[in-house]
Structure 1
Amino acid sequence: MPVQVSWQVSWARSADAHEGLLALLDPVERARHEATVDPASRDRFLVGCALSRRILGELLGVPPEDVPLRRVCPTCGGPHGKPRLAVRAGYDFSVTHSGDVVGVAVCRGAQVGLDVEEADTALDVDAAARTALSARETAAFYALPPAERKPAFLRIWTRKEAVLKALGVGLRAPLRELEVSGADAPAAVLTWPDRLADGPRTTLTDLTVDGLHPAALAVTTGAGRERAALGVGKQPGHAGP
């Protein structure tokens, strides 16, 4: 019998951070919070952890501070990889933040990836396009009027990053080989990197936060083979757009 897949997305602000949320974090999270120098990054991390724990705690029927989470970097083994449940409970989740926006997606029965980008973020769109877009995507991108290129790029970027987060590889995959539909078309993966063959079964959904900030949600099944094919831990990661 196929597993039923369901998902939910919750949004918060980094301004929601307050000292009382620290009680929800485990020792590893508190250490990372204390070691984060930039106040804005520290607040985003705290809100993301607290929001994840509250949602997962409700689903698992345990207090937020008792939700068993683990973070293992696939490259170095350090405690800063994608957070995952340390028990087999059938749930996957993804945390994202950009500027003041913090989001958490939780999915039952499949892997999930969530990404958001601030609409007014400072961005060299030409340099970003050279890094992230395929030849076909680049041609479509430069066919747009200059004023439309930045929002179009951010829409495409959120789709790609959401898919790679769902696979659990982040930005270690070849972005230019992962081709998605144009910004004005329904979200879909058109071409996968060669090493993924036909690609995993993926549902891609466009979201918008506060009617302004582009976001995307990817729900992927059968991602274990894809993680291995992409060589998790064998390629260097990249920064945001």
Structure 2
Amino acid sequence: MPDLPGLPDLPGLPGLPRGAGLRGGGAPDLPGAAGPAGAVGAVADGAGSGVPLGPPLHVAGPEGPWEEVHDQLADRGHVLVHTTWGQWLAAALLDPGLRDLLGRDWPRYRQTAAPAGRLRFAASRMVLKHTAAAALHLPADALDLAYRPGGRPQLRGLAGVEVSLAHTDELIVVAVSRTGPIGVDAEPVTRRPSFDLLHPYVCTPAEAAGLAALPEDDRTARLLHLWTLKEAYTKALGHGMRRRFAAFGFSRDEQGRTVLLDEPAGAPRWILATHLVHDRYLVSVAHRPLRPVETASRPAAHPLEETRLPPAATLGWPLPGSSGAQPT
């Protein structure tokens, strides 16, 4: 199988591995990763400097468990969480404090006409706020979610904390970082993007040539993987779909890991990884560690903590609390 720059040959998907086909229904044959709903397996892991990106943690609802989310942020400087909007549906429907929790997102929630879309929107914001709150030991309803130009979410008043959100079908994925920019993207493994239509916009010439030489199924799976990595990277930059994916590419370092092509010498390098979630979704994440990980048991104090609000661990979590010009 021809080599495709930037995408390592790893067990998991056609194009990510060698010789692995797609099982019935399109789920990739990923040794060691198949399992019950919620199982996660890494299908790609590239690293520059900094702490490697671990697989997303599964949180089934507002009640948690959240301990590992906080611990991972403290230990690694970043954390990924995945869930499904259906697991948060009851909370979105029943929480009497939903308006306060959604804050400035409340008008958009009310203006979403389709009931299913409205509930998905509420659930995704609830997951983001609860994840950030648990990671930072803050109350979820004390967090103020806003959006930068281009739709990138941010937590107002928490300098140095970065968040990213992706959702597709049932899946919701949230990333939180206090060591530098982070972006996450997710797609169903059954999605079949058209190489002929998309490669001028998604691929560099080298990437397009590598993909063109592959069998059709391998080409489609590998294009999907490349798409999620590029979208995660541009979301971390805050560009989203406004930046043409063909304008940048990936290569391999001396260890065979996926890295951003033509990174300036001596600059902090991007860490890239892709995981298989629920045996059905590709989840890619891009992180650029600009600050060292604080190894204390919790992050340094943030402005909101000066209000003497109780830490999230004392709240009991009773009920809850992709890109482009509009927030996802």
Equivalenced residues, count: 214
Code of the residue aligned with 2:275 in structure 1: it is L
Hey, what does 1:35 align to over in structure 2?
111
Instruction: Give the superposition deviation at 1:41.
Output: 3.3
Distance (whole Å) between structure 2 residues aligned to residue 180 and residue 238 of structure 1: 26
Instruction: Give the superposition deviation at 1:122.
Output: 5.2
* Maintained 8 Å contact 2:104/2:145: no
Larger helix fraction of residues: 1
User: Any unmatched runs of 5+ in structure 1?
Assistant: 75-80, 223-236
Q: Does 1:83 align with 2:142?
A: no
* Maintained 8 Å contact 1:5/1:110: no
Hey, what does 2:139 align to over in structure 1?
63
Alignment of 1:131-146 (within 5 A): 131-146=201-216
Runs of 4+ in 1 over 6 A off after TM superposition: none
Instruction: Quickly say closer, same or farther: Cα 1:146–1:69, change in 2 above 3 A.
Output: same
Higher relative contact order (CA 8 A, sep 6+): 2
Instruction: Give the superposition deviation at 1:24.
Output: 5.6
% identity of equivalent residues: 25
Hey, what does 1:7 align to over in structure 2?
78
Query: Which of residues 240, 245, 260 in structure 2 aligns to 1:175?
Result: 245
* Maintained 8 Å contact 2:104/2:146: no
Instruction: Give the superposition deviation at 1:181.
Output: 4.3
Query: Which of residues 230, 235, 260 in structure 2 aligns to 1:165?
Result: 235
Code of the residue aligned with 2:259 in structure 1: it is A
Distance (whole Å) between structure 2 residues aligned to residue 213 and residue 130 of structure 1: 25
Distance (whole Å) between structure 2 residues aligned to residue 41 and residue 137 of structure 1: 35
Instruction: Give the superposition deviation at 1:191.
Output: 4.2
Larger Rg, first or second structure (1 or 2)? 2
Query: How big is each residue's C-alpha offset from its partner over 1:48-80, in whole Å with a ceiling of 9 and x where there is no partner?
Result: 210111112223333211112212334xxxxxx
Query: How big is each residue's C-alpha offset from its partner over 1:84-105, in whole Å with a ceiling of 9 and x where there is no partner?
Result: 0111343211000111111001
Larger strand fraction of residues: 1
* Maintained 8 Å contact 2:185/2:232: yes
Hey, what does 2:259 align to over in structure 1?
188
Instruction: Quickly say closer, same or farther: Cα 1:181–1:152, change in 2 above 3 A.
Output: farther
Query: Which of residues 209, 213, 225 in structure 1 aligns to 2:277?
Result: 209
SS in structure 2 opposite 1:25? helix
Instruction: Return the TM-score normalized by structure 1.
Output: 0.77
* Maintained 8 Å contact 2:103/2:145: no
Code of the residue aligned with 2:106 in structure 1: it is R
* Maintained 8 Å contact 1:133/1:176: yes
Distance (whole Å) between structure 2 residues aligned to residue 152 and residue 39 of structure 1: 35
Query: How big is each residue's C-alpha offset from its partner over 1:118-151, in whole Å with a ceiling of 9 and x where there is no partner?
Result: 1123533321222211111111111110111221
Instruction: Give the superposition deviation at 1:42.
Output: 2.7
Code of the residue aligned with 1:68 in structure 2: it is D
Distance (whole Å) between structure 1 residues aligned to residue 161 and residue 325 of structure 2: 27
* Maintained 8 Å contact 1:167/1:220: no
* Maintained 8 Å contact 1:24/1:64: no
Distance (whole Å) between structure 1 residues aligned to residue 283 and residue 234 of structure 2: 14
